[in-house]
Structure 1
Amino acid sequence: MSPSDTTPEPLPPQVPPAAVRVLRLSQYRSYAHLDLELDIRPVAFFGENGAGKTNLIEAVSFLSPGRGMRSSGADAIARRSEVGTAPQWAVYAEIDSFSGRHAIGVGAQGSARRETRIDGDPAPQTALARLVPLIALTPHHDRLFAGPRADRLKFFDRLVYAADPAHGEAASAYEKIRVRRQRLLDEGHPDPTWIRALETDMAGHGVAMAAARLDALSRLQAEIDLRPDGHFPAADLGLDGAVEADLADGLSAAEAEDRFAQALEAGRVRDAASGRTLTRGPHRTDLIARHRIKQQAAADCSTGEQKALLLTLALAQARVLRGQIGLVPLLLLDEACAHLDTKRREGLAEDILATGSQAWLTGVEKSLFDAFDTQAQFFEVKDGAAHRV
């Protein structure tokens, strides 16, 4: 299924970037303490493998909801001086957002539970998404199109979430209800009224997720189509999902909810027998991508081509966010220049500067970022510190 044709709105001429102006770390992975003051330009970290570059942009990823870009628990994040001590770590940042300057604190103090504060007050993680839209790419994504379906869906949902925080809330509610429904089925002979109520709620959240994905895909494809001859290859995108297909075929939200709820009811015996939700819902959707010029499935492209396609999606979504919500997102690009030739590295710098994003990049050598010239901030990472150069 392909998105409908959409004429994208032109980008506003002046859009404030989301930017980290202060970053402080305490007992965080390889850093006992770190204190950086920054301006709104892209930030490039370079240094030897294992120096701690990725740790820095992972810390920034905690300014958005979730478990960070490595999905690590508190035990892995905390820097320990003594074996057996309780995990304690903290990330503090002052950020520019559409609503002004905010102070964000994230960390754990003696427990695995992560705590979040905004401007000094306790806050739910979901509140972060409404302050700091964020798009992240890591080396783990390099073979995303050839890997498990769930990884592609998670990546795409993060793109959707950056523009529409309500999508993350619907997805969280959907997953909680899905787990509760499966638990009832596993226990056997669930109360018909109770499980029907769960399936009705699950269908409502599921259709909301599918609708948000279709809207995001349409905007993203339209933005890609505006620049078919850019630095990175144009991609043709689609979503392979039952609920998304129903909506794309013209069913109303209410009709799609009814159809999905009926499918869940019909699939109870099968789902109970398998121990998992095999009924096709938004949790089983797949992102489909093709390299337009080569007319080749992304999964069959080389590692370098797959990485270039991912950068196509990330940069296009950054432009969509700028036009849609009037705020340039943070871009976290870990080892983004790996597998890119000189021409594409230059193109990456040009595209990042064109979006106005405060991109955070890592690489083993400063020369990888030469195309930024003086339009970026450079730090050499070594010995548990980041030195401005």
Structure 2
Amino acid sequence: MLARLTLTDFRNHPALDLAPGPGFVCLHGANGAGKTNILEAVSMLAPGRGLRGSALSEMARSNGPGGWSVSAALGDGTVLGTGTLATAPERRIVRINSASAAVNSLAEWLAVLWLTPAMDRLFSGPAGDRRRFLDRLVLALEPGHAHHASRYEAAMRARNKLLAEPEGADPEWLSALEAGMAEHGEALGAARARTVEALGQQLAATPEDLFARPAIVLDQPTHADLAARLRANRGRDAGAGRATEGPHRQDLAVTHAAKAQPAARCSTGEQKALLLGLVLAHAALVTHRRGAAPILLLDEVAAHLDPGRRAALFGRLEGRGQVWMTATEAALFDGVGEATMVHVA
């Protein structure tokens, strides 16, 4: 859990110092007050660009000095910090107990998961959105996943650039890049497959309630001979301007188990329920695997739930670690039990 959260010049907050308790942390206030900005700050204590996926420079306060910082003391006394300097607005700095650290090392200290209104159409949107969602689930279970993802992407970008050279690409350089893509790509695909299998088992063991049960499958498993396939596809990939095979084309296929219907064809309410079911089952899996619950960030999660489903959600979240939620009205948290209630104005 976070025992203390401190923000400086982050989004609309010149300064914020918050001491949340364990369990529920409920942020309520008017639209535009900065509730989601606080959740985004917490999400920056994990690798990646946070729950909005914004550029680092966009997180700096308007009319502020240009840089920003987020710092958190964990329950065990560890202090995590991240931010940017005004002189390098797109270069992220990470410190753990005041010592410089790599961004990906944050995953070893915290698992952070989130749901935002923008994710409500995850199942009917592009495959890239579901792939990024899946990678966030994998990262919470296997912190090393971020390393393989970044190395694979770097090798793929270099290969695409090399294939686009008009005078022709150096075959030996291409082979080296393809070997890197194969090494890290196979690790990526294997980690995704492990997570999907374990999560599927967790979903099958989840008791029935008011939330629809999803069934999941990893589409397009990674080929074991990826390097050979990349080498054979050089001509096609040069014409396409991209790699046409590899784990960057995988997708997470989700269906409504009771209806045997693809999630993309379900109603908006059913899709939200399926997404909640996935995240809650994954949180239980992370707690079992890591011995510590992930931090959950749920933005406006109760706004479109009827009272029965809202109560069922709070019941499933009870005792699941630190859960941060936002709402425009405090009344939407009725029935949540003991919580840190924060009015954001």
- Identify the TM-score tier after normalising by the shorter chain: over 0.9
SS across alignment from 1:34: strand
Amino acid at match of 2:135: D
User: What residue identity is the alignment partner of 1:262?
Assistant: A
For residues 205 and 129 of structure 1, what CA distance do their matches in structure 2 show? 18
1:185 partner amino acid = L
Count of residue correspondences: 342
- Once residues 182 and 30 of structure 1 are traced to their aligned partners in structure 2, the CA distance between those partners, rounded to angstroms, is 39
Name the CA distance, whole Å, in 1 between partners of 2:176 and 2:122.
36
Structure 1 residues 381 and 235, CA gap change in structure 2 (3 angstroms): same
Contact 1:20 1:93 in 2 (8 A): yes
Write the distance in 2 (CA, Å) between the matches of 1:242 and 1:323: 26
Q: Deviations over 1:32-73 (max 9, x none)?
A: 111111221210111111111100110100100111111222
For 1:253, the equivalent position in structure 2 comes to: none
Counterpart Cα distance in 2 of 1:122 and 1:269: 43
| Match in the other structure for 2:20 | 38
CA distance in 2, matches of 1:173, 1:346: 43
Q: Secondary structure of the equivalent of 2:192?
A: helix
- The 5 A counterparts of 1:265-344 are 265-278=231-244, 280-344=245-309
- Tell me if structure 2 keeps the 8 A contact 1:303–1:339: no
| AA aligned opposite 1:275 | G
Shift of 1:350: 0.8
2:330 to 339, 361, 366: 366
CA deviations on 1:242-295 (whole Å, 9 max, x unpaired) are 41xx5xxxxxxxxx1xx21111111111111111111x2100001000011122
Instruction: Tell me if structure 1 keeps the 8 A contact 2:79–2:97.
Output: yes
Q: CA deviation at 1:228?
A: 4.8
AA at the equivalent of 2:248: H
**1:198 CA displacement:** 1.4
Give the equivalent residue in structure 1 for 2:181.
202
Runs of 4+ in 1 over 2 A off after TM superposition: none
1:109 aligns with 2:73: no
- C-alpha spacing 1:338/1:303, structure 2 compared with 1 (3 Å): farther
**Structure 2: distance between partners of 1:219 and 1:74:** 33
Q: TM-score, normalised by structure 1?
A: 0.85
Alignment partners' CA distance in 1, 2:82 and 2:306: 37
* Distance in 1, Cα, partners of 2:285 & 2:212: 17
CA distance in 2, matches of 1:339, 1:297: 22
Aligned-partner SS, 1:335? coil
2:142 equivalent to 1:142: no
**Distance across 2 between alignment mates of 1:183 and 1:170:** 20
- How far did residue 354 of structure 1 move? 3.8
1:170 deviation in Å?
A: 0.7
Structure 1 residue runs of 5 or longer lacking an equivalent are: 1-18, 247-255, 383-389
| SS of the residue 1:309 aligns to | helix
Is residue 63 of structure 2 the alignment partner of residue 52 of structure 1?
no
Amino acid at match of 1:333: L
Q: Residue in 2 aligned with 1:386?
A: none
Once the two structures are TM-superposed, the CA of residue 352 in structure 1 deviates from its matched residue by: 0.9
Which residue of the other structure, out of 215, 220, 230, is the alignment partner of 1:236? Answer: 215
On the 8 A contact 1:228/1:234 being kept in 2, the answer is no
CA offsets 1:300-345 (integer angstroms, 9 cap, x no match): 1111111111111111111111111211110011111132111111
Residue in structure 2 matched with residue 167 of structure 1 by the alignment: 145
Aligned-partner residue type, residue 62 of structure 1 = M
* SS of residue paired to 1:65: coil
Contact 2:10/2:68 (<8 A) preserved: yes
* CA-to-aligned-CA distance 1:11-37 (integer Å, 9 cap, x gap): xxxxxxxx1110111111111111111
CA distance in 2, matches of 1:208, 1:74: 28
Question: Aligned letter for 1:277?
Answer: A
Per-residue deviation, 1:91: 1.0
Match for residue 191 of structure 2?
Answer: 212
Q: Name the CA distance, whole Å, in 2 between partners of 1:93 and 1:128.
A: 12
Tell me the residue number matched to 2:155: 177
CA distance in 2, matches of 1:45, 1:315: 20
Q: Does 1:381 align with 2:330?
A: no
Q: Which amino acid aligns with 1:152?
A: R
| TM-score normalised by structure 2 residue count | 0.96
Residue type of the alignment partner of 1:103? V
C-alpha displacement of 1:230 = 2.8
Task: List gaps (5 residues or longer) in structure 2.
Answer: none
Given that 2:214 and 2:257 are in contact with CA atoms closer than 8 Å, whether structure 1 keeps it comes out as yes
- Mapped partners of 1:49, 1:205: distance in 2: 43
